[in-house]
Structure 1
Amino acid sequence: MSAVAHGINSNPEGDSAGVPWAGRTLTAQPFPGDDGSADPALLEALAGGDLAAITRAWAPTRAMVPIVAVLGEGDDDAELVAAQGDKSADMALVTLVGEDEAKVLPVFTSVAALQNWNPKARPVPVEAARAAQAAVVEECPRIVIDPAGASVELPRPAVWAVAQGRDWVPPATDPELLAGIAALVTAVPEVKAHRCEPDGEAGLIVVLGLPPGLEREQVRATTTRIGELLLTDQMVTERTDSVRLAVRSV
């Protein structure tokens, strides 16, 4: 993965939206007593390797997100020039670019884990839900936890679940999702049975049971109709990375 820094506008008289600092009340440190160490329950979940358990353990924790300094006008540090997104910015949020060219937001369990990844990055503590919301805003489909250590990627549906404050389970075991899919596919008269199977960590294969003897065009029309229903359903698009259809005779 390669790193990209996204600029945060620095204005001594106001914030990035132009709202003056004067007259504001500063809130208390949101993590009093935080020594920057990792949450033991999260470390245990990471060691276990179960993605649903990792997401569940990460959601209530404090995460560390990396912020890096970027160049001002006239600076010529080549290392920072390669990373900066906006020369007028002073600090920037770092995202990574995955092998599929999609952006990934790195987060860390501790200050030590972040510094092991990039000693120049400044650790900023945030609630995991806020980090997930930032990933959505920055159009990062995935979050990677401790990329220099455990390096566990949360898929888009898990990121969205944490951002929305709800539990995430793999699509093939999500009762609400499965009920919603059942309502969609059984409304199509040609479908006599169906089942859902896992397709990777966050995808689904919907197996359709169709009556024997259907013409090829009838099968195509049926699968096209169901595909449209699934792809336009909000729950399906939020809770799965992908949906594939398979057909069998019943």
Structure 2
Amino acid sequence: MNLVGIEGFGPRVAFYIGDIAVTETVTVTWFIMLVLFIFSFLVTRNLKREATGVQLVVETIVRTINNLTKQNMGEKNAAFAPYVGTLMLLIGISNIIGLFGLRPPTADLNTTMCLSILTFVLTQFFGVKSKGLGGYAKGFLEPIPFLLPLNIIGELANPVSLGFRLFGNIVAGVIIMTLLYSALGSFTQLLLGLTVPLLQAGIPAVLHIYFDVFAGLLQSFIFTMLTMVFISGAME
């Protein structure tokens, strides 16, 4: 993929469609969506009654997501499991895609804020659907009407904190790893006199495990858990 760089830190332009610039964020997100689609198609086209191999792994993941949804949102809201699972997989893969040399889409504030706004819209929609417009609006007057402005501000702050939390954690890892690779490349030339960045091989692996795998999957879990808490809380 021929990437055209832009000034400053952030996703670069991957290609143009006419006058429209398509960034790394969009391109990598499309790639992740395609991978998920192909994987889902392949593992479900020939299902067997007795699960083995990949089917067994997939069924375990689906069962875990179903149980997680029921535990946090209740049996009556078990239908949210497909959305919860899709959100967790999309964010999880987006966070660890840096292991393959690609920029995580979640290191772009546009992506994280879109996901958090989607959670916000679903929260308001299902809150109104569950309680009715009057009943849901009445909740902003509790415990006393005087707190109405604070309750509204608190509700509007949820998507902002949700989006910035995910973005901040992921982009921090990207920045740290970028600076580390740059420093190791310079040290290789200064200490060993080599133009090949030899020190970049192996040394960053430990930090990749933390920032890309541990922190990435943890942030995916946190975002999904908060989504379930916000939606189920609005419906109660």
TM-score by length of structure 1 reads: 0.23
**Greater strand fraction, Structure 1 or Structure 2:** 1
Bigger RCO (CA 8 Å, 6+ sep): 2
Based on CA coordinates, which of the two structures has the bigger radius of gyration?
Answer: 1
